[in-house]
Amino acid sequence: MTTGTTAPVALPGGEMLAWSDLPEQRLADGGPLGALAARVVPAGARVLLAGPHDPALLDRLAHAEVTCLLRSHPDAVALTDRAARVIVGGPAGLDPADTFDVVLAGAGLDAVESVEGDRLGWTGVLARLAAALRPGGTLLLRLDNPLGVSRLVATSPWYADRADAAWSVGGVLDAGRPANREQLRARLAEVGLTADAGYAAYPDPGAATALVGTDALDRSPTSGLLDAVLHGACAGGFVGGAVLQDPARLAVDALHAGLGATLAPGWLTLARRPGPDAPVDPPLPVVLVQTGPPGVGVVEVTDGPAGWHWAVTGGGATRVRPAPFASREAAHRDPAALTGPVPPGRLLRTLLLDACLRRDLDALRRLLGGYAGWLAGQAGPDGRLTDASALADADNVVVDGDSFAVLDPSWRATGSLPLEVVLARGLWRCAVTLLTGGYAHPWPSTLDVAGLTVVLGGVAGHDLDRATVDTAVETEAAVAAALRGLDADGRGALATELRAVTPTDPPAGPRGYQQMREAWLRQREELTRLAALLKWTEELLTSRERALRRADATINLLSGSLSYRVGRLAITPARLAKRGARAAKRRAREALGPKPPEEQQ
């Protein structure tokens, strides 16, 4: 348990004095790992926290007696007020007689070993930590996947790591290090542990914002919830960096192929040392995810007899009402709304993209028509939508047969929005995804984002106009600004940025090599199209000029002919009479017309 006083720091040897492992990226309340650890650790348990962890995680273990094993002396000093005991050094510094109820190695085993002393290797460290587990005790171990999504999208190869921590690069060539979940289970068995529940850690195993049960990933590859969770975690996890390809697309593809767990960036595995005092397994969530503005906490999904249910732990659990400032913002997140069942079904976004790729206009008509009809059904008598349905876009709507539902109802509009604007915003977001994402779709490249939005509206059976689309973009900027905590200037800049999105732009988010190359190809194709059009137009112009010259020549020829001159002479009286009649008519109109009012003197 947290002592409130400075914990003793044990220095058994092997400490690293000029070194720090504490993560740079820290999630509120220790993130999903903190929430999971809090559930795994029973009250009053003796816990060994092996390796560097976010200090906030220690706060989530306030109900336990925590011993930290750290190789970095500065890190140990920083944690002395949060732990009962701190041991600084390699795993060899652990007292062989000291055993624990729970051993947490949430940073993996590499970060447990010090540069000082004899090398134990991955297997040796595991054996040492396993030995520290009392019979019936639990190990929570992180293992990074050498073929995980984060590795597959990395711009630098894993074997060229030049970071300070890469004094030794372990990989799939190391037979002692497990490279997949089966090998991990075998290694655990070798040290007398039985693998239990497992979680896939996305998008970065070092700062996972989503932990998803591997069983759920294996069993439910079409789940809209898992689709949204993986996509959201990966879309937000690489921002500001460079990647080879879109990690969110890859993660979702892996999910649909039944490989969501296999290609996870890392795994968190619970293992148990068999023993007579083994505790009853606590019910563990299927999903733990942290998204959106800080303070919401970790959103959990638990499995029950009636299916999956929402729950919130951490900061959001105690915050049942929107922040006071929320009323001034276009949108807010209300974790209190996450109490009911998770609606089943596939994510609308995925279904739409799939139908676009297959150019299945009938399916698109069904999906978009169904979406628009469902939105209309959510609208009040005034034709306006409120709360979660006002923000229901394809990223947060699931489709189960013919029924539509908001997946995560905690994203809510503060005011009400007209149905057409809600629909146009959802379709505009789809259009941006299709165009900037470089997706194949059934429509021509000549459409801009607003144009494709209108076309999607037509497919949905709604005749949208561009003014409505413009309002929708403004709404999107307001919603995004509110959810990102931007001020008025930021919101204005965002609106300008959103309006300027063109089909030849790469998608927002991390700079993906594939996406940049695709954007360049689209630009090249557009130039090809325009050059061909210009050539065609030039040829047509030449042809029409030639036709005009022929017509001129004919007119000149006819003008000079005797019959033309005779005819013109013959109709001269009529022409003069017509001219005179016009003049008389004009004079009569001037004389009879209303006179301008006299000026007041």
Partner 1 sequence: MHHANHFYGHAHVLARYCGLDDGHPPRINGYVQHGWNIGDGLAPGHPYAERTPSLLWSEQTRRRAWSVGRRNVVVTGAPFAYLLDLRRDDPPPAAREGTIWYPFHGWEGQHVKGDHKELIARIRDTEPGPVTVCLYWHEYGMRRVRRLYENAGFRVICHGYRGHWWRDTDPLFLDKQLTELRRHARVASNRLTSAIFYGIAAGCEPAVYGDPMILAKEDPTFGGTARIRRQWPQLHGESVDLPTAVGIARAELGTDHRCTPAELRELLGWAHPAGGTS
**What residues make contact with partner 1 under the rule CB under 8 A?**
359, 361-362, 365, 442-447, 451-452, 454-455, 457-459, 461-466, 525, 528-529, 532-533, 535-537, 540, 547
Q: How far is the CB of 462 from partner 1 (least distance, A)?
A: 8
State how far the Cα of 397 lies from the Cα of 350, in Å rounded to an integer. Answer: 10
- Closest to partner 1 by CB, 3 or 523: 523
Please state the closest distance from residue 469 (CB atom) to partner 1, in A: 10
Which CB sits closer to partner 1, 171 or 444? 444
Rg (CA), the chain: 34
Q: Which is nearer to partner 1, 101 or 420 (CB)?
A: 420
Least Å from the CB of residue 423 to partner 1:
13
CA atoms within 13 A on the CB side of 391: 23
CA–CA distance, 457 with 435 (Å, rounded to integer):
16
Check whether the bond before 203 is cis (ω within 30° of 0).
yes
Residues β-bridged to residue 333: 411
3-state secondary structure of 149: helix
Write down the least CB distance from residue 506 to partner 1, Å.
20
Residue 366 CB, shortest distance to partner 1, in Å, is: 11
Nearest distance from residue 452's CB to partner 1, in Å?
Answer: 8
Nearer to partner 1, 161 or 545 (CB): 545
Amino acid at 83: A
CA 529 – CA 552 distance, rounded (Å): 34
Helix (H) or strand (E) holding 351: helix 348-357
d(CA 37, CA 52): 14
Helices 348-357 + 419-436 axis angle, to 10: 50
C-alpha dihedral sign at 593, 594, 600, 601: positive
Are the C-beta atoms of residues 122 and 110 closer than 8 Å to each other? yes
Q: 95 or 465, CB closer to partner 1?
A: 465
- Is residue 299 classed as helix, strand or coil in its secondary structure? strand
Q: Is 26 or 365 the residue whose CB approaches partner 1 more closely?
A: 365
Query: Would you say 174 or 360 has its CB closer to partner 1?
Result: 360
| Distance in angstroms (rounded) separating the CA atoms of residues 308 and 285 | 9
Distance of closest approach, residue 362 Cβ to partner 1, in angstroms: 7
Spatial separation of the C-alpha atoms in residues 541 and 151, rounded to whole Å: 55
Q: Are strands 403-406 and 397-400 parallel, antiparallel or unpaired?
A: antiparallel
CB of 51 to partner 1, least distance (A): 54
How far apart CA 211 and CA 194 sit, in angstroms, is 21
Closest approach of partner 1 to the CB of residue 354, in Å: 17
Q: Smallest Cα–Cα separation from 100: which of 132, 69, 130?
A: 132
Q: What is the closest distance, in whole angstroms, from the C-beta atom of residue 352 to partner 1 in the complex?
A: 16
Q: Residues of 495-521 as b/e, b for ≥16 C-beta within 10 angstroms? A: beebeebebbbbbebbebebbeebbee
Report the alpha-carbon angle 53-335-260, nearest 5.
55
| Two structure tokens written together for 223 | 């789940």
Smallest gap from residue 499 Cβ to partner 1 (A): 16
Q: By C-alpha distance, which of 138, 386, 393, 162 is closest to 269?
A: 138
Compute how many other C-beta atoms are within 10 angstroms of the C-beta atom of residue 582. 10
Side-chain-facing half-sphere of 29: CA atoms under 13 Å? 26
If the CB atoms of residues 235 and 456 are measured against partner 1, the closer one turns out to be 456
List C-alpha distances in Å: 23 to 53, 75, 108, 208, 384.
7, 10, 13, 12, 46
Of 313 and 504, nearer to partner 1 (C-beta) is 504
CB of 486 vs partner 1, minimal distance in Å = 31
User: Closest Cα partner for 378 from 363, 350, 355, 397?
Assistant: 397
Q: Give the pair of three-digit tokens for residue 98.
A: 């000291």
Rounded to the nearest whole angstrom, what is the least distance from the CB of residue 545 to partner 1 in the complex? 14
Strand 65-70 versus strand 85-89 pairing type: parallel
> Minimum distance between the CB of residue 554 and partner 1, rounded to whole angstroms?
14
Q: Which residue, 230 or 355, is less far from partner 1 as judged by CB?
A: 355
In a 3-state reduction of DSSP, which class is residue 397? strand
**Closest separation in Å from C-beta 443 to partner 1:** 6
Q: What does DSSP assign to residue 63? A: T
Distance of CA 534 to the CA centre of its chain: 40
Residue type, 598: E
Q: Is 387 helix (H, G, I), strand (E, B) or coil?
A: strand
